[in-house]
A and B are shown apart, each in its own frame.
Chain A
Amino acid sequence: MRLAFAALMAATGLLASCATPQRDHRPDAVAMMKRDFHAMGIAGMDRLNEDSVQAACNQHQDNPPQGVADKLQKEQLAAIKWPADGRLLGDWKSGERIAQDGRGMTWSDKGGAGGSCYNCHQIGPRESSFGTLGPSLYQFAKLRGYGADIQRYAYGKIYNAKAYNLCSQMPRMGHVGALTEQQMKDLTALLMDPASPVNQ
């Protein structure tokens, strides 16, 4: 009898622990950060707030339900400002310099930014100091084609990576105003120009 009671208690305990949802500690974390942080240089306290994309990715551990992801990706895509002159390719030489430049958007930066591209990607064949957080972009257009659709994808991806993959780890360089239209054209040329070393 006593044994049965113990077994029953154990079973209820097990059920209770299964039924208790995992407590979400994000509200505690955000409240703590908002108490403890202060604005510094160009990095204001607003940077601690989630926008709709960040909120969805944080809530779902970077894997939101398809419906949520589709809706937000469409919004992000619609917010891309395409160059008014319709030209997506700038100067690949300038693009290489921008890709090399890892500065920008920290509290110790004044304003303006490089692309930080080599921090995470292999790109040109002469730069062996490249990161591996993102995929290799070497021979980007040689492998994918030089057509208008690929040009548009490259520019759009640089402008807002989240328009194509909601919880991509890549920053939204145009969306947040880190890069200018000309800088993004130059980076697109680095990837797309048949003369760029990337495509040799």
Chain B
Amino acid sequence: MRHALVLGIVAAIAAAAPWPQATAQVPDPTAAEFDKFREIMEQDNPAELFEMKGEELWRARRGPKNASLEQCDLGLGPGVVKGAYARMPRYFADADRVMDAEARIVHCMITLQGFTYAALAKQPFSSLTRTPDPVSLVTYVAAQSRGMKISAPQSHPKERATYETGKAIFFYRAGAFDFSCASCHGSDDKRIRTQPLPNFTKPQQAIRAVQGWPGYRMTGGVMHSLQWRMNDCFRQQRFPEPGYASETVSALLAYLTVNANGHVYRGPGIKR
């Protein structure tokens, strides 16, 4: 029954093509159809498979130190996973920097389990044949904040400074096409082709940078995290490549997430 419904909605989306000439002010009917599709898909979200895989990985003794991640401190104390994702990026004194969830997981895999950064950063993003462990782990961790309010902290001076640095990165125009993040995500009601572009400088829209991630992306059929999303944005910005789990990516995510503070996080989702 549910499959029939999903098929029906796929057909409805197909029938909507060629895309109607929506003006910037009118809500895009294609996007509205996709939102309905997503609601249904999320009841049977393939992201759950990665969530389960991530939980196994979290508990398993692995790496050169044959340790689990159960003593990993995600900001709420060693081993506390519930609610941690909704409270990151945050400052971690042991690393003396602000870290987003995946950067923190990578940090724990290095310090607790003995993996090397080089090994983890070699192929950090999902392909059709391979989902890197940190992606499954961050999906598990994110799922433990489902239904909670996003509240990335701004109490530590370095959290406030990192927000400002992230904001400066967001507005920095450079590269072959003179683009900044704000070129596409700095004003209301814009589209690239038919893809609506949220204005991440506004709290009501900044949530769209966070909601649905980590996400099962139907384009390609793979699980992706925000680390991948930021990487691919920099690619399309015509910039060189940011380091995986680097401070730059955490700072940008701090800016976006703090802007989205107060909204309820719905857990790992589905992306186009």
Contacts and interface: CB of A to CB of B under 8 A. Distances in A.
A binds B: yes
Interface of A: 23-26, 28-30, 32-33, 35-40, 43-45, 47-50, 53-54, 57-58, 61, 102, 105-108, 118-120, 128-133, 162, 169, 171-172, 176, 178
A132 B190 CA distance: 5
B172 A30 contact: yes
A33 B176 contact: no
B247 A131 contact: no
Given A32-B251, A37-B240, A128 B20 contact: yes
Contact of B190 (A39, A50, A58, A133): A133
10 contacts: A29-B251, A37-B241, A37-B243, A38-B243, A40-B241, A43-B239, A47-B240, A57-B173, A58-B171, A129-B18
Given A28-B161, A36-B242, A54-B178, 17 more contacts: A25-B168, A29-B166, A32-B165, A32-B247, A33-B248, A37-B242, A43-B175, A43-B239, A45-B240, A47-B174, A47-B175, A58-B171, A107-B235, A131-B190, A131-B191, A132-B24, A171-B177
A37 B239 contact: yes
A53 B23 CA distance: 32
Contact of B239 (A26, A30, A48, A133): A48
Given A43-B238, A43-B241, A107-B240, A128 B247 contact: no
Interface residues of B, number: 44
Interface in B101-155: none
B246 interface: yes
A53 B178 contact: yes
Interface in B183-211: 183-184, 189-194, 197
A15 B142 CA distance: 44
Interface string B219-241: 00000000000000001101111
A6 to B, nearest CB: 26
B38 interface: no
Nearest to B177: A171
Contacts of A102: 193
Given A33-B169, A128-B19, A131-B191, A48 B174 contact: yes
B167 interface: yes
B66 interface: no
A59 B95 CA distance: 32
Contact of B169 (A32, A45, A49, A61): A32
Contacts of B171: 58, 61
Contacts of A171: 176-179
A119 B192 contact: yes
A39 B247 contact: no
A53 B191 CA distance: 25
B43 interface: no
A162 B178 contact: yes
Contacts of B242: 33, 36-37
Q: Which 5 A-B pairs have the closest CB atoms?
A: A29-B168, A171-B177, A36-B246, A40-B241, A25-B168
Contact of A25 (B165, B183, B192, B243): B165
A39 B238 CA distance: 11
Given A45-B240, A47-B174, A119 B193 contact: yes
Nearest to B194: A129
A133 B19 CA distance: 17
